[in-house]
Amino acid sequence: MAKMKGDSPLLRNLSPNHLACFEARIRESQRVGGADGNGKVLCPVVWDGVTCWPATPPNTTVFLPCMATLNGVSYDTTKNVSRVCDLDGEWKLSVYTACMPLLPDRGGVQRAGDVDNLATLHQLGFGLSAAALTIGLYIFIRLK
């Protein structure tokens, strides 16, 4: 981890991504004072706990790739997370709904969306089993 002036225990406990975001925020605030080159207010560089959001002009939606891992779980980085900088230069909530966890598989990596296929297959098997049981009971009762 990079050593900063005035290194403190708080800074030592930050993740590398969080620290890089913190440093970017400091650089950005020193460079433009929270405004673009024309003095217009920007949404500031901010860390939301997962992603570092860059300084952004108002009324703009930012799209960034989903995180690679979070709490030891791998995610599909081909999808995007989004966040809106509103007209007042304030960030709205980050939207991570497109970030799907990747599930380990014998042959590599399986997308969590494939679980839907497994659930459908499970329901189909259950339905066929129930139908066979019903037919079997019907035959058993009729031949009794």
- Tell me the pLDDT tens digit for each residue of 64-79: 999 998 888 889 899 9
Mean pLDDT of 111-138: 81
For 5-40, b/e burial (b = at least 16 CB within 10 A) is eeeeeebeeeeeeebebbbbbeebeeeeeeeeeeee
| pLDDT tens-digit series, residues 23-56 | 777 777 655 555 555 667 788 889 888 889 998 9
How far apart CA 85 and CA 45 sit, in angstroms, is 11
Query: Could you name the CATH architecture of 9-103?
Result: Irregular (4.10)
Q: How confident is the model at residue 3 (pLDDT cuts 50, 70, 90)?
A: very low
pLDDT of residue 119: 75
Mean confidence (pLDDT) of the chain: 79
How far apart CA 63 and CA 53 sit, in angstroms, is 9
pLDDT of residue 143: 87
Count of beta carbons in the 10 Å neighbourhood of residue 55: 21
pLDDT of residue 73: 86
What are the extents of the domains in the chain? 9-103, 113-144
The residue assigned the tokens 């599909």 is: 76
- pLDDT of residue 82 exceeding 80, the answer is yes
How far apart CA 140 and CA 36 sit, in angstroms, is 81
